[in-house]
Structure 1
């Protein structure tokens, strides 16, 4: 949750393992029916590209661009999904707060998944999304709300303790524990309803994978270095996640907010 301050790197193995399980089918059900074959798509905060590639395949006659502020993760995505395999897809380094490489009204769809939760000024980002989206085009956003836990099975004190600490750290690092809840408010502040723009807001479920790699190994050493946790706490949390992973039927579900905006013409 600390990408903006450079404490957590988007291409850390513990991070890419968390995000690598995300796909278009898992994360974009609310958007998929609106993607046409000819759509030009910008996926901001694309990470390892596992969602981006699915969007590109659906819009096979358009162009899809994945943007992320981490050079390392862009190299990883470009290697995983080379042009020879997906010719209408490319990845490039970019800043969500300043999409200067893209002119006004460039894309039919501007998409972001679990990005704004990490951004200190989400409204500034959404104004950039609005700018590069074509009139009549779609801005699609899906954000989890870390503060809203819908289900934790088994409900282990160690995991609750870990997550309570995370919820304290998120705002300190410039993030938003209720990002999914705040989507509609941010969209209105960014002017998404101007020129008769339309908003459709819904809620869904965000299945979180294990965070064992975030509380053990190099990531644990980093947490200790930055004063985010003690070794004793990390050991307790790691044991809890090991027990959680070994339990049949385990799940950890957060609330997700989903928003579609049809930009006014």
Structure 2
């Protein structure tokens, strides 16, 4: 049985994102790796086949399309502030023959395309850290969730690595400074439940958990190190880092080399801890 997905109103949003990476090729490859299993497993127990889901900040759509498989009698709409990654998302859905999914441009701070109380679940993965007003975004997400529905959020909280290379320490320092300088909130996973309360959820309506990514096997290290060696030299990131006065291109070139060296270390380990919350409206 085919699923009819309601069309959103025509969107003409201007970007409210403060995203440092600007959807460069390496960043999109990072995001395409994400699935429900490795990035939203905490949500799986709550999913039902007929749910209507909004995936905010969907990027190239890998989680969005995966969510659609969990709701075969429902549908998922993935939204992103820019159209650039949505081309890849639509192509991926076509390739995987997932038809109960749709992608559209929409602003997390003003989801005006969608009416109050529309969705059973609103989901966002590593989005709030790139939004200048995360509490306002949460209020908008809460608005479009139906009474009794869920808001599911996951944000990075901490990063750790071995060996403790000076270049990676410098990378993390610059990463945080660039994010904060643009108006973002790097690694907010340990306090997203506080934002949720400010957005109108009661503390008793919020369930907290934590999840991790770990890159340590040889193929994992190579993939992660190659991605980051490329990401730190992406033109948009270099421009923002230099204009902010946080480093030079030469600094970033040395950091890229350090990422390569870490990837070649047989004892290399990199982990990201995420804060996760399920909020019931």
Q: TM-score, normalised by structure 1?
A: 0.89
Structure 1 contact 123–189 (Cα < 8 Å) conserved: yes
Shift in alpha-carbon separation, 1:142–1:6, aligned structure 2, 3 A: closer
How many pairs are equivalent? 256
2:218 equivalent to 1:200: no
- Cα shift readout 1:127-154 (whole Å, capped 9, x = no counterpart): 1111100111111000002xx33x3022
Structure 1 contact 108–134 (Cα < 8 Å) conserved: yes
Shift in alpha-carbon separation, 1:221–1:46, aligned structure 2, 3 A: same
Structure 1 contact 220–234 (Cα < 8 Å) conserved: no
Structure 2 residue corresponding to 1:216, chosen from 219, 224, 233: 233
Structure 1 contact 144–255 (Cα < 8 Å) conserved: yes
Structure 2 contact 155–188 (Cα < 8 Å) conserved: yes
Match runs of 1:167-186 below 5 Å: 167-186=176-195
Q: CA–CA distance in 1 between the matches of 2:234 and 2:149?
A: 44
User: Aligned Cα RMSD in Å?
Assistant: 2.2
- Partner residue, 1:253: 271
Shift in alpha-carbon separation, 1:130–1:220, aligned structure 2, 3 A: closer
Structure 1 contact 41–65 (Cα < 8 Å) conserved: yes
- Cα shift readout 1:63-112 (whole Å, capped 9, x = no counterpart): 10000011111122112212981110111111011111111111111000
- Partner residue, 1:160: 169
Structure 1 contact 124–190 (Cα < 8 Å) conserved: yes
- Partner residue, 1:4: 17
Q: Secondary structure at the match of 2:98?
A: coil
Shift in alpha-carbon separation, 1:162–1:25, aligned structure 2, 3 A: same
- Partner residue, 1:28: 40
User: Which consecutive residues of structure 1, in runs of 5 or more, have no partner in the other structure?
Assistant: none
2:255 equivalent to 1:237: yes
Once the two structures are TM-superposed, the CA of residue 241 in structure 1 deviates from its matched residue by 0.4
Q: CA–CA distance in 1 between the matches of 2:19 and 2:206?
A: 33
